[in-house]
């Protein structure tokens, strides 16, 4: 989801290849079933139950499906923001107005992405979200997320930090993608929870020692 293109350390690249290969072997029925189960668990999260604005994304390919979750949040009256990839790999944002409002956008030779039609709110719009749903390939026991390497969500997380915004950070993954450890760099930031088809796992927030 807008996270291709940047190169980084070999350990990350190797792990990404392995995880993507595993995803690409998943039957379509398994992907659909995982998306339905993940949606059910995500909707039980207190961070989403009480959220007025949620920044999310539209899944592509074999990513765990998010469209049902987006629709359910919108039906609750939540303002859902979706990203639009900019030429420099940063993310602009627009309001989700239903599946019919999404447009397919081709960015170079990459997989076509579904992006929100209508007004663009600017990259800083994400700082007003109560929760941010993040794509990824894995998360470890510390809450460190492995993305696809494009750096789009690194910029989002850095923008939140600069603004002093403290939304709940939640990554959506398959069960097998919750691993013991992923390679991390100084700029990487931990997430607060992971939702998988089998449930939710929370990570202690760094600013909350002893909890």
Known binding residues for substrate are: 58, 63
In the annotated binding site, the residues are 12-16, 58, 63, 145-153
Length of the chain: 211
Calculate the alpha carbon distances from 109 to 5, 61, 113, 210 in Å: 11, 15, 11, 47
φ/ψ region of 69 (left if φ > 0, alpha if ψ in -120 to 50, else beta) reads alpha
Region of 206 on the Ramachandran plot (φ > 0 left; ψ -120 to 50 alpha; else beta): alpha
Q: Tokens for 3?
A: 């996270």
Q: What pairing do the DSSP bridges indicate for beta strands 102-105 and 113-116?
A: antiparallel
Enumerate the known binding-site residues for ATP. Answer: 12-16, 145-153
Asked if residue 95 lies in contact with residue 121, where contact means CB atoms within 8 angstroms, the answer is: yes
Q: Using an 8 Å Cβ cutoff, are 82 and 96 in contact?
A: yes
């Amino acid at each position: 989801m807008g996270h291709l293109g940047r190169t980084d350390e070999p350990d990350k690249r190797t792990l990404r290849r392995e995880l993507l290969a595993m995803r690409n072997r998943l039957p379509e029925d398994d992907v659909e079933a995982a998306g339905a189960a993940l949606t059910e668990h995500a909707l039980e999260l207190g961070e989403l139950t009480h959220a007025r604005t949620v920044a999310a994304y539209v899944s592509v390919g074999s990513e765990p499906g998010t469209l049902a979750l987006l629709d359910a949040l919108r039906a609750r009256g939540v303002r859902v923001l979706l990203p639009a990839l900019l030429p420099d790999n940063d993310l602009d944002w627009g309001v989700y107005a239903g599946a019919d409002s999404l447009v397919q956008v081709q960015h170079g030779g990459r997989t076509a992405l579904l992006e929100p039609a209508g007004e663009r709110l600017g990259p800083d719009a994400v700082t007003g979200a109560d929760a941010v749903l993040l794509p990824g390939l894995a998360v470890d026991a510390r809450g460190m997320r492995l993305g696809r390497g494009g750096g789009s969500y690194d910029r989002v997380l850095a923008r939140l930090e600069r603004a002093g915004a403290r939304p709940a950070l939640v990554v959506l993954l398959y069960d097998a993608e919750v691993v013991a450890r992923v390679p991390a760099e100084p700029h990487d930031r931990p997430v607060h929870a992971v939702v998988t088809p089998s449930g939710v796992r929370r990570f202690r927030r760094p600013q909350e020692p002893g909890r």
